[in-house]
Structure formats: C-alpha cells, structure tokens
C-alpha cells in the first residue's frame, strides 16, 4: 500500500519555497511538462535541493488517468 501525504509534510523545506501560483496548481497541470519544478522559488538550500530531488524521483514515474478529474484531498 502506498502512503500519501501533502508536500508540506513530506518535504517541508521544499514546500516553503513553492510559489503562490504553484500552490494553487492542480496535480495534472503541475506534472505537465514538469511545471511543478519551475514553481520552486526563493532560497535553494541543500535541504530544499535534497527534497526536490526526492520528489522528482517519485513523480517521474507518475502517469495520470486523463479521464479522472483532479480533486483536493485533505488528510
């Protein structure tokens, strides 16, 4: 079973450096052409870079169902 959690819990330093627009972007739009990576702004510390690479590694394998609408799930 896969464990899902918000980015702010999984990668808090990275989450703090995501732009306001990036925080409003849907998963589908964020994954399209790796837009989520361009939403990282501000100070890129070693901790932020480490979390960025960890998230990138997880997302590179994601394939979305084009017939299912994004929805926000609070856990």
**What pTM, to 2 d.p., does this model score?**
0.72
Helix residue ranges, H only, the chain: 7-10, 12-16, 20-24, 27-31, 35-38, 46-59
Secondary structure class of 20 (helix, strand, coil)? helix
Per-residue pLDDT, 73: 56
pLDDT band at 1 (very low <50, low <70, confident <90, very high): very low
Secondary structure class of 40 (helix, strand, coil)? strand
d(CA 10, CA 51): 8
Share of the chain above pLDDT 90, in %: 27
What are the domain boundaries of the chain? 7-59
Task: Read off the pLDDT of residues 16-48 as tens digits, 9 standing for 90 and up.
Answer: 999 998 888 887 888 887 888 899 998 889 999
d(CA 26, CA 32): 10
């Amino acid at each position: 079973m896969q464990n899902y959690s918000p980015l702010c819990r999984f990668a808090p330093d990275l989450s703090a450096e995501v732009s306001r627009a990036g925080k409003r972007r849907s998963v589908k739009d964020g994954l399209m052409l790796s837009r989520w990576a361009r939403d990282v702004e501000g100070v890129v510390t070693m901790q932020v870079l480490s979390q960025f690479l960890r998230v990138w590694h997880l997302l590179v394998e994601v394939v979305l169902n084009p017939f299912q609408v994004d929805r926000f799930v609070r856990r």
